[in-house]
Amino acid sequence: MPVYFHVNSFTNVPYRGNPAEVVILTEDRPTAWMQQTAAEMGFSETAFVRQTQDGYSLRWFTPKVEVDLCGHATLATAHVLFQEGLLGKQDVAYFQTLSGQLTAAWQDGWIHLDFPVYNPQPAEPPQAMLTAVGVKPTACVQEPGGRWLWEVATEQEVRNAKPDFQALGLQPGRGLILTAKTVQGDFDFISRYFAPWVGINEDPVTGSAHCLLAPYWAVKLSRLSFKAFQASTRGGELKVNLDGKRVHIFGQAVTIVKGSLLV
């Protein structure tokens, strides 16, 4: 009988950050069952983790599709493994995923995720996409997987954006990051993440988006370490370091619910 956990990621306060479901499997389950379970859960991501000889198999599903990388559900999974004593605080979690091997480690009350870098390239979005989002970006880039990153002039433009999600989802892409440099406060940049293409109009806090944000802001700000804030309604905080072809993301998490699946 699979055990599941409802976890808030990238926060140390309940009901903030990004909620994810983590399902611990003791045997293989069909992909169709995982997708149905994720749809039933209804969260932006449900993670399915199973111990193997070389660590853990980890897969992520939105209510509509399987995805190749998810930061907040990986953080939630690592949090559960450390919290439940399945891994000691001195251990490293090795996850075998569609994005290759990922690792997670406990470090001074934070969980350290080691993720790949997504290299952005300049790209020109179609006018219909600009109209759907309703902002005037100062720079636009895109990574090979289809996700866009648009920088806008001010933090307030990021916070005030109100995309037409139906129209946005008809445009080419897989996700859209809006970002701006901050001029006051504790953070270096803020962002929001929209993904109607995969059934998530706005994701509260998106670890994988920072695989694109880190190299982008490294060039813009001439530095390799950042404090970042994702300005969704729930909000979330991350520490991010760029190290060559890897991005180190640090986050915290809180468990809200633990239960059992009966099917």
| Alpha carbons 212 and 194: distance in angstroms, whole number | 14
C-alpha Rg value of the chain to the nearest Å: 18
Per-residue tokens: 161? 């954006």
> In sequence order, what DSSP letters do the residues of 72-91 get, joined into one string?
HHHHHHHHHHHHTTSS-TT-
* 196: DSSP letter: G
Residue carrying the six token digits 């700000």? 221
- Name the DSSP letter for residue 54: T
Q: State the catalytic residue, choosing from 21, 27, 40, 45.
A: 45
Q: Is 136 helix (H, G, I), strand (E, B) or coil?
A: coil
Q: E-strand spans in the chain?
A: 3-9, 18-25, 46-52, 55-61, 66-67, 92-97, 100-107, 110-116, 121-122, 139-142, 147-151, 175-181, 189-195, 200-203, 225-230, 236-243, 246-251, 253-260
Which amino acid type is present at position 160?
N
> Residues near 195 by Cβ (< 8 Å), separated by ≥ 6?
174, 175, 176, 201, 202, 203
202 is catalytic: no
Residues 257, 259: Cα–Cα separation, whole Å: 7
CA distance 156 to 150: 14
Residues carrying an active site annotation: 45
